[in-house]
Structure 1
Amino acid sequence: MAEPVGLEEVLPECLVVEIMNRVQDARELAKCCVVSKGLRQAVQNVLFVQLICLKKYYMEARTGPLVRVPFKQAVMNMVQQVKRIEHLKLEIEPEMQANPFQKDEIHLKDFWLSEPYFVIAWAQAVGPSLQHLSLVDYGQQAIMCTTPIIRILAETCPLLKTLELRNMFLDTRDCPVLPHMTCLTLRCIKMMGKGLTDINKCMPALNMLAVVSVFGVEEAKITSEYMQVMCLGLSTKAKTVELNLPNVCKLQLKMACPDSLWVSAPSLAYVAVCMEKREGALVEFEKISNLKELLFGASHFCTLTRLIRNNPLLGKVFLDVPCMELGDDGRWEGVLPDVPLMIPDMKELDASCPCLHTLSIGPGLWYSLETGFENKPNEGEMFKKWPSLKHLIVHIIVLKMDTCLSVLRLISAAVPSLQTLEIYIHADSPVDADHVLLECEEHIAFPFKSGKWKKSLSFSCFSF
C-alpha cells in the first residue's frame, strides 16, 4: 500500500505558503507544523498570523493549574517561528470581553495584551516586517493601566501602515513619528487629555482615522493634508476640537458637544453629525459648500440651517431628534424628558437645496412630527409642493396607531413628486409592529416598502 503523499510534495512551495496564509489562525498553523517538515517550512513563510485567547483558557487560569501553554508564551512561540509577519492579529475572545472585572484578576497579566514588556518582546520579533496590526485587549483589566504601545510600535515597527487598537488606556506622550501609518482605528479606548493631538503629530500621513467610544480626550487639534475619512466618536466632553482637513471627503462626528468645535473641510461631501449642542458651546463649520449627503441627529438646528443654506448640491438628508432612549440591545426604553421636540424648517430645506431627492426621518423626529400633528393637525403642509423629493424613508416607534397612520397618510399625500416610500417599524414598539404594517397596507394609498428595525436604522441609501 502506497504511503500518503504530503501536500508539499504535490504542490509548488509558493502555493503551499499561500494556502498556509489563508489558514491564519495560529492554532491551525501549529498543527500544520507537526504534520511534516515541508509544512513546517511553509508556515515559517506565512505573512498573516492571528492568535485568539479563548474564554476556556481564562477560566482555567482562574481555577488553575494551567495545562496549556500560557497565551503570551504561545504568541512568542509563533512570532519567533515565522520569518516575516506582515499582518498580525492578537485578540481576546469576544465572549471573554463580557466578563465583569474582579479585583483578584489583577495578577492575571497573561490577559493584559498591551502590557509594555510583552509588547516590546513580540514587537522586536516582528518589527522589521510588520505592516498591519490589530490588537483587542481584555478591556476590563487593560483599561486600568496605561500602555505606551504606540511609542513602542514607532520605535520597533518602521513599516507599520494600519493599526487597530481596542480596550486599553493609551499613553501617547513623546511618540516618535510613524511615517507610513495611513489607517488608525481606536475603539473603546481611554486616552490622556491631549491624546488625539499627540496622534496627529506622530502619524502625519494618516488618511483614515476612526475613533469610536473613546473617553478622556480634552483637546483634539488635528491638521492633515492627507486625511480623507474621519470618524470622531468621543464619549466624554472635550474642551476643544479643531479639525483643519482640506482634503477630507467623509466626516462623522458622534460625540458629546465640546466647549468649542471648529471644522474647516472645503472638500467635504458626506457628513454625519450626532451631537446635541449645549448652551454656551461654540460650534463652527467653515468652508463647507459641496455637501452631497448630510446626516444630522440633534434638536438644536442653528448649525443645520447654516449647513443647508451653504450647500445647494445636497441630494440626501437624514434628520433626527435624539429624544428616544434605546438600550444596548436596541429595546425602546422611553422618551427622554429634557430633549426639545423641535421640527427643522422643511421649507428652508426645500428652498435651499433644490437637488434634494432623498429624505430619511429618524424615530425621534417622527415622534416630534406626531406630537406636532396632535397639536396642529395641518403640520404635514410643510411637505407640500416639494418638486425634487422622490424618496422618503421613515423610522417609527409606534406609540399611538391612529396618530401614526394619520401622519403617514398626510405626508404620503402631501408630496406630489414622491416615487418611493419606505416605512420601518421598531420591533419592540408598544403597538405591535406586524399589526402596524398590516394597517399601513390597508390605509396608506401610496405603494411602500416596509420592514422592522431594532438596533440600527436603515442607512443603505447613504454612503456611510
Structure 2
Amino acid sequence: MGLSPVSMEKLPETLLLEILSHLDDSADVARCRIASKGFNNVYPYIRSINLQRTSRIYLNLGSRVSNSSQVSTHFEDIFLNLVSNLKVVETINISNDSLIEDLPHGFICKMTGDLYLTDDDFVKKWLPTCSSQLKSLSISDSPVSSFPRSHLLPLISVYCHNLVELKVKRALLSVKNLNPMPMLTSLTLEAVHVCGEDINVISNCFPNLQALNLKYCEGDTYPATIDLLNLKTFGLTMYDAPSSVNALSSISLIAPNLIMLELDLSGFTALHVKAPILSHLHLTVDLRDGIVHELHIGYSQYFLHKVFCVFPNVNSLCFKSNAWMALEAWYKSKPFDWETCDGMKGLKTFSAYLWLSEQSWTFLCVANLLDQSTDLSEVSLLIWRGVSPRVSKSFIVRCMSRWPRLKWRWGIWSDGMEDSWVSI
C-alpha cells in the first residue's frame, strides 16, 4: 500500500532525498514535488537530472496542439526549471525516447519545432548555471537527417572544467575554438559529424582520455590519427562502405597503454593500431573485407597467428556473430589446412556468438581453438535465440563433456536484444 501525502510529510528529509535520488526519470521527480511539500523541500539537494522527450508527449499532444512549439517549450521549461532549482548538478542526461525513432520523419520535424538539444541558444540557457560541479553529461538529439551546426563542444570546454564523462549522440559538431579539457577521461561520440577539423582534435583537446568510443562518426578530413597516452579502452563501430569523402575510412590509433579494443566494423578501409600491451580483443568484423590493414585480415589462413603476433599480450578474445561466422566458413572451406597458433597458448578467456547452423562444423571450429589454448580457464558461448532447445542442449553437453576442466558460461543472443545468460 502506498503512502498518503500526509504520511509522506512525516518521513525524515534524508529518506525523502534518498527516494528522489533513486528515481530514474526527472519527470517523476517533478511530479513528486507537486504531490508532496516534503519532496519539494528536499528537491534542490538532488544532484542529477535524467529527462527524455518521449514519443508519448508527441503522440498525445500532436493531435491537440496547433502550435507545435508548445510541445518543445513544455520539455524546455521542465528541464530549465530542474536545472535552475538544484544547488549542485553533477550529472545531466537529456535525450529523446528511443521510440521517437519509430515515428515518421515529417511528424518528428513538425512536433519538435526548432528545439534541438544541441542547439547553441538552448545550451547557453542552462550550461553556464550548472557547469561548475558537472561531472557527467549525456545529450542525445533528434533522429533527423539534418542538424544546425552546434558549438556544444567549445561551450562545454569553456564552462565545464570538472567534466569527467561526455556522451553526444546525433549532432553536427563544430570544434572551432575548442579548449583543452584535461579532466575528461571518457568520451562517446555516436552518429556525429565533426566539422571544421577531423577526429584528430580528440588527441589535442582531450589528452587524458581513458575510454573512447566512436560510433558511425565522420570528419571533414581523413585519415584520422588518435594518439592518446592514457587510453585504456577504445571502441570503434563503422558499418557499410564510406558514402562520402567525410567518412572515417582510415584511422591510426597510437595507444601505448590500451588494454581493451572493441571493433564492430564492415566496409571499413584501414585501421592501424599500435597497442603493445593490449590484452582484451573483441571482434565484430567481416573477416573477408580486409578491413584491418595492419593485421592483413582476409581469407588468409594465418588470421589468428597474425592477431597474436601483432598483439602478443592478448589473453581475452571475443568473436561476435558475423566475425565467428566468417571464421567458421574459412575453416569449413579448408578442413585440412587449419593453422596452429602458438600465441593462443596464453589465452585465459574466450567467448563467441554462435549461429549453430551446422552443429558439427561449429564444434570442430570451437575444438580447434580451445585445444590450442592450453592456459584457458573460462569459455563463454552464446547461442542464437532461433536455435531449437534440443540442438542447443546437445551442443552444450558435447562441449562440457569434451573440456570438463573449463569454467563454462552459456547464453542466448539475438539482434536488438540484450544478451541473456542461462544457468547450467
TM-score (normalised: structure 2): 0.75
Q: Given residue 165 of structure 2, which amino acid in structure 1 is its aligned partner?
A: T
- Alpha-carbon distance in structure 1 between the residues aligned to 2:302 and 2:182: 40
> Structure 1's 213 and 425: CA in aligned 2 closer, same or farther, altered over 3 A?
same
Distance 1:17 1:113, change over 3 A: same
- 1:37–1:298 distance in 2 versus 1, CA, 3 Å: farther
Question: Aligned pair 1:91/2:95, yes or no?
Answer: yes
Shift in alpha-carbon separation, 1:102–1:302, aligned structure 2, 3 A: farther
Partner of residue 263, structure 2: 253
Give 5+ residue unaligned stretches, structure 1. 286-295, 324-361
| 1:286-322 deviation digits (Å, cap 9, x = unpaired) | xxxxxxxxxx985456675344235555444456895
Q: Are 2:282 and 1:272 equivalent residues in the alignment?
A: yes
CA positional deviation for 1:419 = 9.3
- Kindly state the Cα deviation for residue 191 of structure 1 after the two structures are TM-superposed: 3.1
The equivalent of 1:26 in structure 2 is 26
Q: Is 1:125 equivalent to 2:125 in the alignment?
A: no
Between the aligned partners of 1:46 and 1:89, the Cα distance in structure 2 is: 14
Q: 1:436 aligns with which of 391, 394, 397?
A: 391
Opposite residue 45 of structure 2, the aligned amino acid is N
CA-to-aligned-CA distance 1:319-364 (integer Å, 9 cap, x gap): 68958xxxxxxxxxxxxxxxxxxxxxxxxxxxxxxxxxxxxxx222
Query: Residues of 2 paired with 1:74 and 1:320: CA distance?
Result: 41
Q: Which residue of 1 aligns with 2:384?
A: 426
What's the counterpart of residue 228 of structure 2?
Answer: 224
Change (3 A) 1:299 1:99: farther
Instruction: Output aligned runs, 1:120-269, within 5 Å.
Output: 120-140=124-144, 143-192=146-195, 194-216=197-219, 218-235=222-239, 236=242, 238-255=248-265, 261-269=271-279
1:457 and 1:50 map into 2 onto residues whose CA distance is 22
Contact 1:297–1:319 (CA under 8 A) maintained in structure 2: no
CA distance in 1: counterparts of 2:304 and 2:413, whole angstroms: 26
**Closer, same or farther: CA 165–200 of 1 in aligned 2, 3 Å:** same
Give the match for residue 364 of structure 1.
326
Per the alignment, do residues 56 and 438 of structure 1 end up closer, same or farther by CA in structure 2, a change over 3 Å counting? closer
Q: Residue in 1 aligned with 2:113?
A: 109
Residue aligning to 2:84: 80
How many angstroms does 1:39 deviate by? 2.8
The one of 454, 458, 463 aligned to 2:414: 454
For residues 119 and 391 of structure 2, the distance between their equivalents in structure 1, rounded to whole angstroms, comes to: 53
Question: Is residue 16–residue 42 contact of structure 2 (8 Å, CA) maintained in 1?
Answer: yes
| TM-score between the two structures when normalised by the length of structure 1 | 0.69
Cα distance in 1 for partners of 2:418, 2:61 equals 41
Whole-Å Cα distance in 1 between the matches of residues 210 and 367 of structure 2? 45
Aligned CA RMSD, in angstroms, stands at 4.5
- For the 8 Å contact 1:80–1:125, the answer to whether it is kept is yes
Q: Could you tell me how far 1:55 is from its partner in structure 2? A: 0.8
Q: Please say which structure displays the higher CA radius of gyration.
A: 1
Q: What residue identity is the alignment partner of 1:433?
A: S
C-alpha distance 48-409 of structure 1, shift in aligned 2 (>3 A): closer
Say how many residue pairs are matched: 399
Residue 121 of structure 1 deviates from its aligned partner by: 0.8
